[in-house]
Amino acid sequence: AESLRRFRAGAEAGAARHGYRLEAFRLGGSGLSEARLEKVLHARGIRGVVFAPVPRPGTILKQAWANHAVAALGFSLASPRLHRAVNHQIHSIRLALSSLVGLGYRRIGLVISRAHDERVDHHWLSSVLLTRHEQRDANVAFPLLLEDDFGPRVLQRWLRAERPEVVLTTEPGIASRLRR
């Protein structure tokens, strides 16, 4: 995803400013086990670790990682509790919605996958609900499609029922499907 590329570019630039470089290691699946990774890092004198988001939200690391400076990107690692860098989803979507209201839109549709919302600790959904609450007297509607299936029939049914003037989405590929 674009946000991951930007996180990595920022981490590489930050490391370079301090005389370090970023090196990627694959954890789990076809990569290293956690215990093996910790041993490899220790043997190579690598003291700092930044965990990229993992596929499953709520993931728990088994190792203590006490001998390393450890941080995470995103919310998908639930344990151990780490310092983390994240996109401020609540601010991002509220800024976008505020801008669209300022442009005069009154039916602002939102298309968000349940899985994606869960990966970001439900910050997308909570920001939508907060904005709906704050705008309840402003004659603005925020129809929401919160699903995991965005097939053509699902999108078509939602578009016909809700008739949004503009659609805000977190899902790649939705824009081209909506145009069709």
Q: Which of 156, 171, 93, 169 lies closest to 128, judged by CA?
A: 93
Nearest to residue 166, comparing CAs of 180, 154, 179? Answer: 179
CB 75 within 8 A of CB 120: yes
Percent of the chain surpassing pLDDT 70: 99
**How far is the C-alpha of 61 from the C-alpha of 28, rounded, in Å?**
11
Mean pLDDT on 156-160: 93
Residue 154 in this model has a pLDDT that exceeds 80: yes
In eight-state DSSP terms, residue 24 is -
88 pLDDT band, cuts 50/70/90, is: confident
Q: Residue 166: what pLDDT?
A: 94
State yes or no: pLDDT of 57 exceeds 90.
Answer: no
93 burial via Cβ count (<10 Å: 0-12, 13-18, 19+) = buried
Model confidence over 94-124: pLDDT tens digits?
Answer: 899 999 999 999 999 999 989 888 888 888 8
Q: How far apart are the C-alpha atoms of 168 and 166, rounded to whole Å?
A: 7
Express each pLDDT in 21-41 by its tens digit: 999 898 877 788 888 998 899
**CB-count burial class (<10 Å; 0-12, 13-18, 19+) for 84:** middle
Do residues 3 and 88 make contact, with C-beta atoms less than 8 angstroms apart?
no
Cβ atoms of residues 88 and 147 within 8 Å: no
- The pLDDT mean for the chain works out to 87
Residue 158 clears pLDDT 90, i.e. is over it: yes
pLDDT of residue 63: 85
pLDDT score at 109: 94
What is the model's pLDDT at position 86? Answer: 77
pLDDT level of residue 1 (50, 70, 90 thresholds)? low
- What was the pLDDT predicted at 142? 94
Confidence of residue 7 (pLDDT cuts 50, 70, 90): confident
- Whether the Cβ atoms of residue 130 and residue 94 lie closer than 8 Å to each other: yes
Task: Check if the beta carbon of residue 169 is closer than 8 Å to that of residue 136.
Answer: no
Strand partners, 59: 77
* Residue 145 reports pLDDT greater than 80: yes
